[in-house]
Amino acid sequence: MKEASYVHISFGATSAELKANKGELKVALTPYSTQRKQGAIERMERLEGLFAEGRFGEVLKIGAQLRNETLLSEADRERAHSLCGKAQLITRRWLSLLEDLGRQLEDEPRTEVLEAARALARRLEEAYEKSSAERERAAWLLARGEAAYKKAVEQRSRDKLDGLVKKAEDFVNKGLVGHALLVVRHILTRYPTTTQAGAARILLQRIEHMRRTP
């Protein structure tokens, strides 16, 4: 628009509005550049709020636009860049910690470690959109950790049952039939469908034979 040129503006008002203003009609014009700047400032405020809420996916999306927004001050652009960097750093740390928790579950299946891994995965899920690489990575790491936990628990259970069968065998070999019978019945009652239950049934037959034999 050239300086000193005329602009044709059309507007309307209701009779109630005119009456409320005693017949006067006031019009306030805001330059488009001012509106854009105000919008950028509002988006900057939203960026701060999103970061505080831990919604890093949206932080990275909006921050990438604002760090090059010429209508913002240099300090605001640097702040937007800084928030993006912090969001990425926190995300990397969370993913690294989630991976470490998975390794711990491989070594020792502790319930508190599993719950910590699930809580961390939920935080990452809340921070990013469904299709994001970060969320998919978190889901994969959690699934691997849960599988390791399940495998370790099952192995621990097998080791425990193997120990009970060995204990019962030792009692039988020493002629301690009563002690052996208690262990065998415990295995058959608590773990009837396991491989060790099959070994316990064989021991039970030996015990019954020993009882019938003078």
Averaged pLDDT, 105-134: 93
9 within domain boundaries: no
The residue range of the domain holding 122 is: 15-212
> Which pLDDT value is given to residue 12?
59
> Which pLDDT value is given to residue 207?
86
What band does 34 get if pLDDT is binned at 50, 70 and 90?
A: low
Beta strands in the chain (DSSP E): none
What band does 71 get if pLDDT is binned at 50, 70 and 90?
A: confident
Read off the amino acid at residue 154. E
Number of domains in the chain: 1
8 within domain boundaries: no
7 within domain boundaries: no
| Mean pLDDT across the chain | 85
Averaged pLDDT, 138-150: 94
Whether 97 and 142 have beta carbons less than 8 Å apart is answered as no
Averaged pLDDT, 167-185: 89
> Which pLDDT value is given to residue 155?
87
What band does 106 get if pLDDT is binned at 50, 70 and 90?
A: confident
What band does 101 get if pLDDT is binned at 50, 70 and 90?
A: very high
Q: pTM for this one? A: 0.67
2 within domain boundaries: no
> Range with the lowest mean pLDDT among 1-15, 131-145, 157-171?
1-15
107 within domain boundaries: yes
Averaged pLDDT, 113-136: 94
4 within domain boundaries: no
Whether 184 and 191 have beta carbons less than 8 Å apart is answered as no
Instruction: Say whether pLDDT at 39 is over 90.
Output: no
> Which pLDDT value is given to residue 83?
96
5 within domain boundaries: no
Q: If you search the block for the tokens 């960026």, which residue do you land on?
A: 47
The helix (H) or strand (E) run that includes residue 100 is helix 74-107
> Which pLDDT value is given to residue 32?
44
> Which pLDDT value is given to residue 134?
95
79 within domain boundaries: yes
Q: Which of these, 37, 58, 33, 31, lies nearest to 46 by C-alpha position?
A: 58
Instruction: Say whether pLDDT at 1 is over 60.
Output: no
